[in-house]
Structure 1
Amino acid sequence: MPLTFTLDPAITPALRDGILDLWTDVTDAGGAVGFVAPANREEIRPELVRHFAQMAEGRTRLLVGHDEAGEVAATAFLTRNTHRLMTHWLWLYTVMVHPRHQGRGYGRDLLAAAADAARAMEGIEAVRLTCRGGLGLERFYGSCGYKEVGRVPDAIRVAPGDDRDDIVMLLPLR
């Protein structure tokens, strides 16, 4: 059964906790979402609060995918650029699908829903994201229409002696 996507949902304690659980589970499964396993909810919480603060400022929008049981199964944050010469594209952050739902096409569904949301935003012509090298994520994003437009070698230090490339991907919307 497909996920049900909601753009700009009301932030309730249940949604907040669902996103924290998702972020923790994705991290623990080896997902490249800003933390390294083992995940700690209290370490992740301030980052989620920062996302919520950007939402309150009107710079960021939240896209949430719920599964058939109503549980948070996927998220992506769409963040507008504040630089006046770059307002025609936005960043896609914290793209996550719960490990129990991976392999069902939900990642593609999430990216398509995010692209649709971006197209509906006035003046947005492209979506940009970064991903951690060494996991094949650039191949996945490429299969969804994104193009690699930059790479910073060894920019992400996962652990001492384990540096990964920071890969910049772009999806033109026109």
Structure 2
Amino acid sequence: MPLTFTLDPVVTPALRDGVVELWTNVSNAGGAVGFVPPVSREEIRPELVRHLVAMAEGRTRLLVGQDAAGEVAATAFLTFNTHRLMRHWVWLYTVMVHPKHQGRGHGRDLLAAAADAARGIDGITAIRLTCRGGLGLERFYGGCGYKEVGRVPGAIRVADGDDRDDITMLLPLT
């Protein structure tokens, strides 16, 4: 079943709770979305609040994918640059697909929807994102058209003795 994607959905309590639930499930399944398992909803909630504040201030836009039951199944946040020389591209953050929906092409669909959303923003010509090394994410993003443009070895400390590369990927939109 395909997901239905919505850019800038109305943030209701149900949507907010759905994003927290998604983020918790993805994190606890080992997803590289800013946390290391185990993590609770209460630990995720403040990070979501920061994203919601950025949305309210017009600095970030939310893309949500919902399944046939209307449940939040995927998300990505598009964040604008504030630097005057870099306003022609956006960051893509917190790219998530619920573990029960993975392996069905929904990640590719989410990235395609994010690219379409970015193309619809006046003046945006590229998307940048970062990913955690050691998980093969750069191969996934590469298969979706992104190119690796930078790597900082050992920049992400997942645990003592477990440092991962911080990989920057770029998708030109033109």
- TM-score, normalised to structure 2's length? 0.99
User: Percent identity over the alignment?
Assistant: 82
Please list every run of 5 or more consecutive structure 2 residues that lacks an aligned counterpart in the other structure. none
| Paired amino acid for 1:34 | G
1:79 corresponds to: 79
The whole-number CA distance in structure 1 between the counterparts of 2:42 and 2:138 is 29
1:169 matched to 2:169? The reply is yes
Describe the SS at the equivalent of 1:50. helix
Describe the SS at the equivalent of 1:156. strand
- CA shift at 1:40, angstroms? 1.3
The whole-number CA distance in structure 2 between the counterparts of 1:86 and 1:47 is 25
| Paired amino acid for 2:163 | D
1:139 matched to 2:142? The reply is no
After TM superposition, the structure 1 = structure 2 runs for residues 4-153 of structure 1, keeping only pairs within 5 Å, are 4-153=4-153
The whole-number CA distance in structure 2 between the counterparts of 1:146 and 1:33 is 18
Describe the SS at the equivalent of 1:104. coil
Describe the SS at the equivalent of 2:43. helix
Please list every run of 5 or more consecutive structure 1 residues that lacks an aligned counterpart in the other structure. none
| Paired amino acid for 2:104 | R
Task: Give RMSD over aligned pairs.
Answer: 0.4
- TM-score, normalised to structure 1's length? 0.99
- 1:61-92 Cα offsets, whole Å, 9 max, x none, are 00000001110000000000000000000000
Off by >3 Å, runs of 4+ in structure 1: none
